[in-house]
Amino acid sequence: MIILGVDPGLTRCGVGVIEAGAHSRLSFIHVDVVRSEPEQPQDLRLLTVYNGLAAKMDEFIPDVVSIERVFAQDNRNTVLGTAQAAGMAMLAAAQRGIPVAVHTPSESKTAITGNGKAQKIQVERMVARILNLNTLPKPADAADALAIAICHALRPAGAIQGGEREQHLTAAQRQWAMAAQKAGKSSRVRRAM
């Protein structure tokens, strides 16, 4: 399975492509950053991001596009631009009939390091280690795009129910599944209130 990860951003939109093979074997294919110029009008910047992402999807023909979920930031303009860039990734994928998965930064950190609050350098080191890279992926947007692709590849198919299936998960996958299971329970509790 080819997974194209996207770390959305208006100025720098990270793109990472990996292949997930049998037995959770992950292989590096490509990493890059789609850039737009801050001096350009917003609509042209979004078009640049869209065109860059569409070109990557056409080149690598992924089976799924994994996008980092936008979360609230202090700077409203930054979060709006990030959300719009994520929308461009979703649009490009939808036009090509490619399924989209969205993962939070903490899900990505948990899947890769086993710690949802891991520092950026820890994530970068684990990305390099998992993909057998000789150097850390740069810039940070590129490393984050690979991390979100790896997160999707390592995610468990469902909640852990124990037994034989649990034995085949890595420690990071078990923690990821437990965090997802816990988040699901808390959201059900909130809906019931």
**Residues labelled catalytic:** 7, 68, 141
Annotated binding site for Mg(2+): 7, 68, 141
Whether residue 16 contacts residue 148, with contact meaning beta carbons closer than 8 Å, is answered with: yes
Whether residue 52 contacts residue 34, with contact meaning beta carbons closer than 8 Å, is answered with: yes
Residue ranges of E strands in the chain? 2-7, 12-20, 26-35, 64-68, 100-103
3: closest CA among 83, 111, 120, 81? 111
Annotated binding site: 7, 68, 141
End-to-end CA distance of the chain: 40
